[in-house]
Structure 1
Amino acid sequence: MRLVVTEEQEELRGALRRFFADKSPGAEVRRLMESATGYEPAVWKQMAEQLGLQGLAVPEEYGGSGFGVRELVIVLEEMGRALVCAPYFATVVLAATALQASDDKTAQRDLLPGIADGTTIATLAWTENERWDLGAVVMTARETADGWVLDGTKTYVLDGHIADLVLVAARTPLGLSLFAVDGDITGSTSRGGTTPHTPRSGSAAGLTRTALPVLDQTRKLARLDFAAVPARLVGTEGGAEPVLAHTLDIAAVGLAAEQLGGAQVSLDMAVEYAKVRHQFGRPIGGFQAIKHRCADMFVQVESARSAVLQAAATADEDPGELPVAAALAKAFCSDAYFHTAAESIQIHGGIGFTWEHDAHLYFKRAKSSQELFGAPAHHRNRLAHLVGI
């Protein structure tokens, strides 16, 4: 199994770093944090047209580039470094992965091209409470003379307030199933009022979206309420559990890559500050306590990098072992990012707690992503079960 990064992948990383440095500086991140939609449409379009990021992991037959998880984690790591505010994770990592795993060729032909060219913002809705496992899904779907309809509530839906396409996990008489709902934002509510986003396609009577208050304002979450909402079955009735399980494993690896990127920046900020901040006539980096903290952060970051590379390679080459690699990566990288972001603030001292400094943005992202898709304890328990402990 190859764990080294190729020259082509490094070229991709370089192009992404330059692009995000230009499009996602701290001032822009703060502006988008305060906006209702949480992203800049012009940059989203450039991501698709200039870099092809939305179609990176979509098969060529559906308008994508056909790359694997190795390339996807490079994109996500760089996004984590720059705290990019965009519905990329929801659209590409969650929705596009679920569609591909469904093996529904008709749905893939109809829905993936829009994701690949950046004209469709999509998401996946499965959580209904604080539990992230599929066993907690109780929302129901019923078949009528006019087709399937959905009733119930989903919460913590990434970018659910602006998605043109919502994939929904719901129970039917045959078990857990996956459905597609065309978006309609006109009934949505948020803390700032109606979300000013024009849906790109379709409508869904009975769908109400409410933006949720969040710790990390760089990542928007929503509650979706369904009242007899028309839906399209994706895949086979009762066949969604393996589809969603695979999707959540890929999501865990992708989030771990994001966490790695943020942890690296937190380390870099701390080291740079330790070089320039003087106390008692010398840089604070010269004190043993600061050296030890930075060294420990470095070990955490490099160990996280190994976990991400291993998980990405496993996803591409040995998918049968992906659940183990994904659980390990998410558990370790969650703690590594939180530890590194917290230590960075401590090294910065009082300035690290101020609104003007970026350190607190990474700390909030670290804490929120630590809980997203399940806390480290959830993934450690899952890992123990998978390896028979």
Structure 2
Amino acid sequence: MGTRGALLAPAEVAGGGAELRQEHLDLRDSVRALLSSRHSEEVLRQREGRAEEFDRDLWQAFGGELGAAGLTIPEEYGGHGFGWVEQSITLQEAGRSLYSGPLLSTVGLAIPALLAAENEQVKQELLPKIAEGALLATAALPALGHEFTIAATVSGAEATVSGTLSGVLDACHADALLLVASDDHGGSLYLVEPGPTVTIRGLRGLDLARSVAKVEFQQAPARRISNGRAAEIVNKVRDRALLALAAEQLGCADRAVEMSAEYAKTRVQFDRPIGSFQAIKHMCANMAVGLESMRAIVEHAAWLADNRPEHLPAAATAAKMFCSETAGSITADTIHVHGGIGFTWEHSAHLYFRRARASEVMFGEPDRYRTELADRLAM
């Protein structure tokens, strides 16, 4: 997938959505085949409490060779020059398989931060390596409504940063950390490489497949890659991070609904499939309606990111709010459909519930975004 001709641009359809073409379906099938063969549930269970471990060979195949890491990177920086319609497909498949690698942190945080900084030298230096899967980068942003917690000291061309960040995605295996810090410009974007003055501690969370860490900077050498504009950069990155997360949540919910429907058709009680009982029918129907609503809002937001970026902030906020709550509800109902076996460690239902609940509060709680959306719409 090294050339733009490998995929067609998404078709524009009435209502501002994206019509998936055969090339998009082929991309989906390729990603699904790769992850299903090399990212089993047993791998997820083995990761519990071992956030520092990471399958770089799989990331090289997925992010580099298959091209997932470079889809939204412009061709002049070594990427494939596509958009968020294509990127959301890879994120949905990552959500379906509960992928434990750095896709979300790479395409939802690091790449948007570098593109928003508009530092030509840094983009030429880092983006081609990220697109190849050779360099792992992540970004840490303040939660919605929170102040910067990192302070920068600048002396001429040199700078250091100090402070602590918690819940940083994939920091344990990142080669580059992007963060915003308060400075003489009010706040700028900085690039830090892990070293003796950077302490990274992996955290155990509800989601067994997600790697998060607490990062402490003790006058760590840093490179300022924007002169101010911290708030503007944070807003641009957050919009794409929310879209990326919502696409992942859609994939997670999609697989949960699929598992529930399969079980309802094959599990027999009182000489009848449990799917024939009204309570299960209603539950599965509500799950399906929620899933299709998630799909509509994610596809619309992805289309806006590519074609009407000025409307993305409201759409991304709505996607975060709705998908977080709906994925949580769907995965909880998946456990209910499966009954007693759904509560066991051996069954995979709880893994999807864990991902949905952990993702619900990532980048801020849904209520915060409900308030922001109301403000945006002047309600």
Range into which the TM-score falls when normalised by the shorter chain: over 0.9
* C-alpha contact 1:266 1:362 (8 A) present in aligned 2: yes
| Residue 37 (structure 1) shift | 2.4
Q: Give the secondary structure class of the aligned counterpart of 1:89.
A: helix
Amino acid at match of 2:299: L
Give the equivalent residue in structure 2 for 1:261: 251
Give the Cα–Cα distance (whole angstroms) in 1 for the partners of residues 318 and 288 of structure 2.
19
Give the equivalent residue in structure 1 for 2:300: 310
Matches for 1:369-380 after TM superposition, within 5 Å: 369-380=359-370
Choose 24-33 or 275-284, whichever is displaced more: 24-33
Amino acid at match of 2:372: R
| Residue 49 (structure 1) shift | 4.0
Residue deviations 1:126-151, cap 9 Å, x none? 34xxxx12642132101125611001
Give the Cα–Cα distance (whole angstroms) in 1 for the partners of residues 218 and 145 of structure 2.
21
1:133 counterpart = 2:124: no
TM-score by length of 1: 0.91
Amino acid at match of 1:371: V
Amino acid at match of 1:220: S
Q: Give the secondary structure class of the aligned counterpart of 2:261.
A: helix
Residue deviations 1:186-210, cap 9 Å, x none? xxxxxxxxxxxxxxxxxx3311111
Give the equivalent residue in structure 1 for 2:291: 301
Amino acid at match of 2:256: S
Give the Cα–Cα distance (whole angstroms) in 2 for the partners of residues 314 and 61 of structure 1.
23
Give the equivalent residue in structure 1 for 2:46: 31
| Residue 230 (structure 1) shift | 0.6
Give the equivalent residue in structure 2 for 1:386: 376
Give the Cα–Cα distance (whole angstroms) in 1 for the partners of residues 329 and 368 of structure 2.
18
| Residue 212 (structure 1) shift | 1.4
The match for 1:282 among 263, 272, 278 is: 272
1:216 counterpart = 2:227: no
Runs of 4+ in structure 1 off by over 4 angstroms are none
The match for 1:155 among 159, 166, 177 is: 166
Give the equivalent residue in structure 2 for 1:87: 102
* C-alpha contact 2:73 2:82 (8 A) present in aligned 1: yes
Residue deviations 1:275-294, cap 9 Å, x none? 11111111110000100000
Matches for 1:7-18 after TM superposition, within 5 Å: 7-18=22-33
Give the Cα–Cα distance (whole angstroms) in 2 for the partners of residues 235 and 102 of structure 1.
6
Give the Cα–Cα distance (whole angstroms) in 2 for the partners of residues 3 and 344 of structure 1.
29
Give the Cα–Cα distance (whole angstroms) in 2 for the partners of residues 172 and 67 of structure 1.
35
Relative to 1, partners in 2 of residues 1:34 and 1:206: Cα closer, same or farther, differing over 3 Å? closer
* C-alpha contact 1:39 1:87 (8 A) present in aligned 2: no
Give the Cα–Cα distance (whole angstroms) in 2 for the partners of residues 109 and 233 of structure 1.
16
| Residue 176 (structure 1) shift | 1.8
1:71 counterpart = 2:82: no
Give the equivalent residue in structure 2 for 1:231: 222
Identity %: 40
Give the equivalent residue in structure 2 for 1:117: 132
Choose 49-58 or 293-302, whichever is displaced more: 49-58
Give the Cα–Cα distance (whole angstroms) in 1 for the partners of residues 371 and 111 of structure 2.
28
Matches for 1:89-108 after TM superposition, within 5 Å: 89-108=104-123
The match for 1:245 among 235, 241, 248 is: 235
* C-alpha contact 1:32 1:40 (8 A) present in aligned 2: no
The match for 1:22 among 34, 37, 55 is: 37
Identify unmatched segments of 5+ residues in structure 1: 184-203
TM-score by length of 2: 0.93
Give the equivalent residue in structure 2 for 1:58: 73
1:167 counterpart = 2:158: no
Residue deviations 1:246-296, cap 9 Å, x none? 111101011000000010111111111111111111111000010000000
Identify unmatched segments of 5+ residues in structure 2: 1-15
| Residue 56 (structure 1) shift | 1.5
The match for 2:260 among 245, 270, 275 is: 270
The match for 1:366 among 346, 356, 359 is: 356
Give the Cα–Cα distance (whole angstroms) in 1 for the partners of residues 68 and 51 of structure 2.
23
The match for 2:320 among 330, 341, 349 is: 330
* C-alpha contact 2:144 2:368 (8 A) present in aligned 1: no
Give the Cα–Cα distance (whole angstroms) in 1 for the partners of residues 51 and 375 of structure 2.
41
Residue deviations 1:205-260, cap 9 Å, x none? 31111111211120011111111101001122x21211121111101011000000
Give the Cα–Cα distance (whole angstroms) in 1 for the partners of residues 42 and 293 of structure 2.
31
Give the Cα–Cα distance (whole angstroms) in 2 for the partners of residues 367 and 29 of structure 1.
16
Give the equivalent residue in structure 2 for 1:191: none
Give the Cα–Cα distance (whole angstroms) in 1 for the partners of residues 296 and 254 of structure 2.
13
Amino acid at match of 2:38: K
* C-alpha contact 1:216 1:361 (8 A) present in aligned 2: yes
Relative to 1, partners in 2 of residues 1:48 and 1:326: Cα closer, same or farther, differing over 3 Å? closer
Residue deviations 1:301-321, cap 9 Å, x none? 000000000100111111111
Alignment length (residue pairs): 364
